[in-house]
A and B are shown apart, each in its own frame.
Chain A
């Protein structure tokens, strides 16, 4: 049976899965009783509720007609991967390379999430933002961010 709304079908399944995981996890926390509810009482109830609601959604997506099946559509892999890698790169780079270098690298890299990016302008933007962030966030706002690269021996920490 093909779902009549692909979006709702997938969303419903995801909700059921997440709700189930939470409810299952909550079982190990001590359910208690209504008299003295334990730490697992509330999350178990909610998880069960989400499974139920997700089930409704799946049921509806299989039965109620929609315009054009509401497809999920193409996934924008390039921006998705670029942005996620950029964030992770920032987290990995900052304690090791310091703020300006990390910002420069991340900006240069993430620029190519857009297919309009060009090498020279991405480089210029990276240099500009590296300087800008160091001046504004560290010098101006006084945030506690490392400016210089850490010695190689401290990289593994």
Chain B
């Protein structure tokens, strides 16, 4: 393992790659701190900045953007009580209360330090577990891949907030949108309406931008303007006191452990991690009534869990080539764009890229601490910019990004279509994240399904007669049944409460 990590650090620590990691973290924080913009929208918007780079620096920079965007989101959650995405919803509960008590600095500090600790541990976890998992992945045949993706999509349904049935519909719709492309096996263009531009399918950036970026802007503008208190004047000291640390450290430890494990789950395990770690701290606390009133554990635990989960969610993407959530779908898309097919062969064929990315995860986390603690004043000033100045800038940045994918205006027009769709989903309370996941996994699923059927001479029982595949499918069915049970449904509703 140490050899591998050494190779990784040798790759990541070149001046050039360090520069890209730094730029990524800075840019990610810059955009991510803007209210209402989560990591998915940030990454989609900043995608053009990596088009010109080689594969390794591009992925390193993109990972930096992701960490930066996450931390930026926590900043907004703490100071404004506006979580940019579901993951920082729990942070907002106690973080905002701390800010109101004049302890915004402490909250931001513990969020950064807790995230850094979680990032260190989970980087080690990835380095430890990836090689054996890659060996396992090589045992997978087409039937197993198909079954695993079914399990992943079902997990995404289970973990999606809101209605299970609607999430299921969104996934199937996503898989169908992925069908707009040239059939891999027969070479026949499908659902392209005679447009050659569609023979490669919709771009994932186009969909992500339209659904997450533009849809959100329209929805925000449709709401009456709120005047929120911004705690920019009395942030206070950033470094937590000894007493704060004593209270927060066990919470950070538990959050990290929970996040590292749950993050591997397909379907946004990091979200589950931040929710459940908050609940856990509340259960363990001597005085649970402190929660919701500015308990430091209420910031430390979910932030660590979220970051650890964000980190370990790289595992299924890097090891199996199966992105477990929308962010990883964007990463996988960027890899494909750079001519690398995500999957177990990346580690063996391209070890410098694989381990360089892992090392740069740690470096990205370190940069978050060294960059954001001193620069917090600048990010806070950004929060004072009124939304009416921000959104036109976001609109043109997205347009430029969409145009730069292929240097054609066709993508820009498509983005407009998905913007409308994004607003429709918002109005109908259909969560778009499962759709994006289905869209990315769809073509992979079809290919593996058809290959498995052909190998088995059209015998559908191949999926249940192979033990690994059968086990995965049984797990998927059990999950789906369990989540439909009335008692579990009530618990699930409770876990996702306060998310709206």
Encoded as 1 (CB less than 8 Å from any B CB) or 0, chain A from 72 to 92 comes to 111110111001101110111
Residues from chain B with a CB closer than 8 A to the CB of A76 are 218-219, 221-222, 423
Given contacts A42-B179, A106-B395, contact A11 B428 (CB under 8 A): yes
B412 near A125: Cβ-Cβ < 8 Å = no
Give 1 or 0 for each of A104-124: 1 = CB within 8 Å of chain B CB. 001100110110110001100
* A residues less than 8 Å from B185 (CB atoms): 39
Q: Is the CB of A83 within 8 A of B176?
A: no
User: Within A1-44, which residues are at the interface with B (CB < 8 Å)?
Assistant: 7-8, 10-12, 14-15, 18-19, 22, 25-26, 29-30, 33-43
B492 CB–A CB distance under 8 Å: no
Flag whether B388 is at the interface (Cβ < 8 A): yes
| B188 contacts chain A at the CB level, 8 A cutoff | yes
The distance in angstroms between the C-alpha atoms of A34 and B453, with both chains bound, is: 6
Check A137–B175 contact: CB distance below 8 A: no
The answer to whether A18 touches B173 (Cβ under 8 A) is yes
In the complex, which of the residues B165, B188, B398, B454 contacts A39, with contact meaning CB atoms closer than 8 Å?
B188
Q: Which of A19, A37, A50, A79 contacts B218 (CB 8 A)?
A: A79
Q: What's the least CB distance linking A139 to chain B, in Å?
A: 13
A133 within 8 A of B: yes
0/1 interface trace, chain B 82-114, chain A, CB 8 Å (1 if under): 000000000000000000000000000000000
Contacting residues, chain B, for A116 (C-beta < 8 A): 225, 386, 388
* Cα(A114)–Cα(B430), bound, Å: 25
Question: At the interface with chain A, which of B66-74, B244-252, B399-407?
Answer: B399-407
B409 part of interface (Cβ distance < 8 Å): yes
Give the complex CA separation of A112 and B276 in angstroms. Answer: 42
The distance in angstroms between the C-alpha atoms of A12 and B170, with both chains bound, is: 11
Query: Within the complex, what minimum Cβ distance (angstroms) separates A155 from chain B?
Result: 13
Given contact pairs A106-B395, A107-B392, A142 touches B176 in the complex (Cβ within 8 A): no
Q: How long is the Cα–Cα vector from A43 to B453 in the complex, in angstroms?
A: 16
A141 CB-CB contact with B under 8 Å? yes
Q: Is the Cβ of A83 less than 8 Å from the Cβ of B218?
A: yes
The docked-state distance in angstroms from the alpha carbon of A14 to that of B169 is: 10
List B contacts of A49 (CB < 8 A).
Answer: 172
Instruction: Chain A residues near B399: list those with CB within 8 A.
Output: 86-87, 90-91, 106
B427 on interface, CB distance cutoff 8 Å: yes
State which of B175, B392, B409 has its C-beta within 8 Å of the C-beta of A91.
Answer: B409
> Does B214 have its Cβ within 8 Å of any Cβ on chain A?
yes
User: Quick one: closest B residue to A72, CB to CB?
Assistant: B427
Q: How far is the CA of A60 from the CA of B179 in the complex (A)?
A: 28
Query: In the complex the two chains form, is B166's CB within 8 Å of A88's CB?
Result: no
Give the contacts of B228-275 with A (CB-CB under 8 A): none
**Residue numbers in B under 8 Å from A121 (CB-CB):** 388-389
Asked whether B409 lies within 8 Å of A94 as measured between CB atoms, the reply is yes
- Let me know if A97 is at the binding interface, CB within 8 A: no
The answer on a CB contact under 8 Å between A50 and B416 is: no
| Contact assessment for B409 and A19 in the assembled complex, using a CB-CB cutoff below 8 Å | no
Cα(A39)–Cα(B443), bound, Å: 12
Task: Report whether B403 and A145 are in contact in the complex, using a CB–CB cutoff of 8 Å.
Answer: yes
Residues of A within 8 A of B427 (CB): 7, 72-73, 75
B31 at the interface (CB under 8 A from A): no
Report the minimum CB–CB distance from B393 to chain A (whole Å).
6
What residues on B are CB-neighbors of A88 within 8 Å? 412-413, 416
Whether the pair A143, B218 counts as a contact (CB closer than 8 A) is no
CA distance A11 to B166 in the complex (A): 8
| Interchain CB contact (< 8 A) of B419 among A72, A87, A125 | A87
Closest CB-CB distance, B355 to chain A, in whole Å? 28
Q: Is residue B495 within 8 Å, beta carbon to beta carbon, of the partner chain?
A: no
Asked if B218 and A56 make an inter-chain contact with CB atoms under 8 angstroms apart, the answer reads no
> Does any Cβ of B come within 8 Å of A62's Cβ?
no
Known A7-B427, A42-B450, A50-B176: A83·B395 in contact at CB below 8 Å: yes
Q: Is A101 interfacial (CB-CB < 8 Å)?
A: no
Contacting residue for A143 out of B48, B221, B398, B430, CB 8 A:
B48
Question: Which residue on A lies nearest to B223, using beta carbons?
Answer: A76
Indicate if the CB atoms of B165 and A57 lie closer than 8 Å: yes
Give the chain B neighbours of A10 by CB distance below 8 A: 428
Given contacts A22-B191, A145-B404, contact A57 B169 (CB under 8 A): yes
Shortest Cβ distance from A47 into B: residue: B176
Cβ-neighbour of A103 out of B388, B396, B429, B454 (below 8 A): B396
Q: A53 touching B169 by the CB < 8 A rule?
A: yes
Q: Would you call A95 and B392 a contact (CB within 8 A)?
A: no
Contacts of A84 in B (CB 8 A): 416, 419-420
**Which B residues form the contact surface with A (CB < 8 A)?**
48-49, 51-52, 163, 165-166, 168-169, 172-173, 175-176, 179, 183, 185-186, 188, 190-191, 214, 217-219, 221-222, 225, 386-389, 391-393, 395-400, 403-404, 407, 409, 412-413, 415-416, 419-420, 423-424, 427-430, 445-446, 449-450, 453-454, 457-460
Pairs across A and B, CB under 8 Å, 28 listed: A7-B429, A11-B429, A15-B169, A34-B460, A35-B458, A37-B450, A39-B188, A42-B446, A42-B449, A46-B172, A50-B173, A57-B165, A57-B169, A70-B429, A72-B428, A76-B218, A87-B415, A91-B409, A91-B413, A99-B400, A103-B396, A114-B387, A116-B225, A116-B386, A121-B389, A141-B52, A144-B404, A145-B404
Known: A39-B185, A110-B391. 15 other contacts (CB 8 A): A12-B169, A36-B454, A37-B449, A42-B449, A50-B173, A79-B218, A84-B416, A86-B399, A87-B398, A88-B412, A91-B409, A106-B395, A114-B391, A144-B404, A145-B403
Q: Give chain A's interface residues, CB within 8 Å of chain B.
A: 7-8, 10-12, 14-15, 18-19, 22, 25-26, 29-30, 33-43, 46-47, 49-50, 53-54, 56-57, 60, 70, 72-76, 78-80, 83-84, 86-88, 90-92, 94-95, 99, 103, 106-107, 110-111, 113-114, 116-117, 121-122, 125-126, 129, 133, 137, 141-145
